[in-house]
A and B are shown apart, each in its own frame.
Chain A
Amino acid sequence: MASVPMHQGLLLAGILFALGLTGLLVRRNVIFMLMSLEVMLNAAGLAFVVAGSRWGQADGQIVFLFILSMAAAEVSVGLALVLQIYRRFKTLDADAVSEMRG
């Protein structure tokens, strides 16, 4: 369709990724952390698709497919873990789950 310069697409992906990273580091609630993780995954996938589109090959989209399925798997397991944490610690504070400190 449109010919958007690749570096702008990649820059968009980079900005979204950095925003997701910021959200991950700032928020203390595990749900928000998972959410930020999804943002980061999405941004990475965007980068792939942009690159695939630049070369005119389907490979970028296929990788995005894999990322998508991986994200789905990860979210399901992750949310199940969040439920366990909530049941065990009665809180969604990510800092409360630091029993593996040295």
Chain B
Amino acid sequence: MEVVFYIAAIVAIASTVLAITRLNAVHALLYLIVSLLSVAVVFYVIGAPFIAALEVIVYAGAIMVLFVFVVMMLNLGKAATDREREWQRPGMWVGPSILAAILIAEVAYLVASPGTAVYGSAVIEPKQVGIVLFGPYLIGVELASMLLLGALVGAYHLGRHTPEKTES
């Protein structure tokens, strides 16, 4: 079963790389959805089926769809793609790549240190998650709901299209 993990990992990495290098916004988003799906597979492999399902449903299914809606609403067209090409010169990649490489190196060093923790392959059932969620983490749930309420109000207000004022 570990093989599935490695394959899913490679797919995730490859599709993420593709996602951040595309010029067309919709293409990038679709690649990102692929990446999210593969991460969901990873979740399933390491024994978190509930989260795998949620990843697909919420992240890839709702958040990315929201992205796609907005992109299509903006109706960018070919001009945007050309602009992207002109903004995306190869030279621009150097700095961020170096930063990212150093970061990866540090993380690798961090996680590679003391002993590899091999863990039991226990699957954590949704029921368990539910019990812990509404037990010790109850306050977190309430706060999250307030956060979503705030986001709702904010998004509604900020996204409102105020009618143009008449010329004075």
Q: Footprint of B on A, CB under 8 Å?
A: 1-12, 14-29, 31-32, 34-36, 38-39, 42, 46, 49-50, 52-62, 64-66, 68-77, 79-84, 86-87, 92
Chain B residues within 8 Å of A81, by CB:
158
Chain B residues within 8 Å of A59, by CB:
132
From A46, A54, A77, B158 is in contact (CB under 8 Å) with A77
Contacts of B58-94 to chain A: CB distance below 8 A: 58-59, 62-64, 66-67, 70-71, 73-74, 76, 80, 84, 87-88, 92-93
Cross-chain contact B119 with A42 (CB below 8 angstroms): no
Chain A residues within 8 Å of B48, by CB:
49, 52-53, 60-61, 64
Closest B residue to A21 by beta carbon equals: B100
Cross-chain contact A65 with B67 (CB below 8 angstroms): no
Chain B residues within 8 Å of A74, by CB:
151
From A28, A39, A68, B35 is in contact (CB under 8 Å) with A39
Chain A residues within 8 Å of B58, by CB:
68, 72
A-B pairs with the 10 shortest C-beta distances? A23-B20, A73-B151, A2-B1, A14-B107, A25-B96, A80-B158, A80-B159, A18-B100, A76-B155, A7-B111
Chain B residues within 8 Å of A71, by CB:
59, 63
Cross-chain contact A15 with B13 (CB below 8 angstroms): yes
Chain B residues within 8 Å of A17, by CB:
103, 107
In the assembled complex, B7 has its CB within 8 A of some CB on chain A: no
Chain A to chain B contacts (Cβ below 8 Å), 20 pairs: A5-B116, A12-B13, A14-B108, A18-B103, A21-B96, A22-B93, A25-B96, A26-B96, A29-B25, A32-B20, A35-B19, A35-B20, A35-B67, A38-B64, A38-B67, A65-B54, A79-B66, A80-B159, A82-B74, A83-B159
From B73, B84, B97, B158, A29 is in contact (CB under 8 Å) with B84
Report the bound CA distance from A76 to B1 in whole Å: 37
Chain B residues within 8 Å of A32, by CB:
20, 25, 28
Chain A residues within 8 Å of B161, by CB:
87
In the assembled complex, B34 has its CB within 8 A of some CB on chain A: no
Closest A residue to B156 by beta carbon equals: A80
Would you give the 0/1 interface string for B138-168, flagging 1 where the beta carbon is closer than 8 Å to chain A? 0010001001101110111111010000000
Chain B residues within 8 Å of A38, by CB:
32, 59, 63-64, 67
Known: A9-B46, A62-B137, A75-B63. A68 touches B54 (CB 8 A): yes
A53 CB to nearest chain B CB (Å): 5
